[in-house]
Amino acid sequence: MQRQQLYNLLTVILLFAITGAILLYAEFVASNYVQRIIVILGINMILVVSLNLSNGFTGVFSLGHIGFMAIGAYTAALLTLPISMKKVNLPDLPAWLSGVEMSLLPATLIGGLLAVVIAFLVGLSLMRLSGPYVSVATLGFLVIVQVVLVNWDAVTRGARTFSGVPGHTDQWWVWGWVVVTVYIVWRVVRSSFGRGMMAGRDNEIAAQALGINIMRSRLLAFCMSAFFTAVAGSLWAHFIMSFSPKSFYFVQAFTIITMLAVGGLGSVSGSIVGTLLITVLSEVLRNAERGIGLGFLTIPPVYGASQILMSVILVLVIVLRPKGLLGNREIDFNRLWSRLLP
């Protein structure tokens, strides 16, 4: 047991050292472009890890989680928007909201808690479903969020761009939340509650026979996932600083699901690996869309090719590795330490 605790401590120290080194490099050496990729990578990790808590460990496949991202983004942006900017961009804003101006942390937490309340109300009915029915129902939830955002003109500016959001998000904020998200999800999955979630995913009838409350475990996982998804939305909004309802629709949902499917449902390590691979590959393909010169050969610009290739990659992964790169497995650092410290 003492050796196991030592290995766990060394693993935590190693991961913190690698993360800290990357962030320090980005802060003092890397270009603004690299810093942007690191921030987007962290936000994507929060989205994928939190989605995996609901989709991977309970077996309830949600297609509408980006709706919670939109809730977190708009709520936090409204709370942090300067009062002078509200008078210009949102003249019809309710009086109790027009005079409020908060810092990033409380606004993010309020956005997350609002997402939890909505997830609880929605999940009371949706979490009773299973299979393709719950996927279609959560997709309907995303459509409802879109309709509200587009038509609630006094609060969201409707289909127009919501601009003027202060740029509070930096890599330290994002990766601080990455650490919190990964740690909490890891602890939940490794707890008795998490084992109950996975038992209900693998065999619902057997889990109920053992006294596991399937509905409660699914609902709690759905609410926790909604909270961290809304947090990611807040961080994203305060990094991009201007967005519209179109930013939270099928394209974004498809991208996050691709990362999850590539890494592996049911694996926290897989979520991180899948996010890293797809985020970096997306940036490479996006730059390649503008055309590539290879000396004697010049590839002309092919706009939209990155989304096509992402779709092809998702199909190949589903066909060749249906469970993703890691499946239900986690990266085993204990084997590394056992070899280095016999």
DSSP state for residue 292 in the 8-state scheme: E
| Tokens describing residue 276 | 């890293």
DSSP secondary structure, 216-263, as one string: HHHHHHHHHHHHHHHHHHHHHHHHH--B-GGGGSHHHHHHHHHHHHHH
Contact 105, 144 (CB under 8 A): no
Residue 43: per-residue pLDDT: 95
Residue 263: per-residue pLDDT: 87
Residue 290: per-residue pLDDT: 67
The pTM is what?
0.91
Q: What integer is the mean pLDDT of 76-101?
A: 87
Query: What's the CA gap between 56 and 221, in Å, rounded?
Result: 10
| Tokens describing residue 44 | 């994507």
> pLDDT band for position 231 (50/70/90)?
very high
Greatest extent of the chain over all pairs of C-alpha atoms, in Å: 68
Query: What's the CA gap between 102 and 128, in Å, rounded?
Result: 37
Residue 148: per-residue pLDDT: 93
> pLDDT band for position 99 (50/70/90)?
confident
**Structure confidence by residue, pLDDT tens digits, 285-322:** 777 666 665 555 566 666 666 777 777 877 888 788 87
Contact 238, 219 (CB under 8 A): no
DSSP state for residue 293 in the 8-state scheme: E
> pLDDT band for position 85 (50/70/90)?
confident
| Those residues with Cβ within 8 angstroms of residue 297's Cβ, 6 or more apart along the chain or in another chain | none
Among 44-53, 112-121, 134-143, where is mean pLDDT lowest?
Answer: 134-143
> Can you point out the beta strands (E) in the chain?
292-294, 297-299
> pLDDT band for position 237 (50/70/90)?
very high
Q: Pick 235 or 201 by higher pLDDT.
A: 235
Contact 275, 45 (CB under 8 A): yes
**Structure confidence by residue, pLDDT tens digits, 184-214:** 998 888 888 888 888 877 777 888 787 788 8
Among 39-43, 74-78, 93-97, 268-272, where is mean pLDDT lowest?
Answer: 93-97
Closest CA to 185 of 270, 279, 74: 270
Residue 142: per-residue pLDDT: 92
> Which range is most confident: 36-45, 150-159, 245-254, 256-265?
36-45
Helix (H) or strand (E) run with residue 94 in it: none
Q: Pick 202 or 270 by higher pLDDT.
A: 270
Query: What's the CA gap between 325 and 269, in Å, rounded?
Result: 10
> pLDDT band for position 31 (50/70/90)?
confident
Residue 300: per-residue pLDDT: 64
Q: What integer is the mean pLDDT of 78-94?
A: 87
> pLDDT band for position 173 (50/70/90)?
very high
**Structure confidence by residue, pLDDT tens digits, 129-150:** 777 788 888 889 999 999 999 9
> pLDDT band for position 336 (50/70/90)?
confident
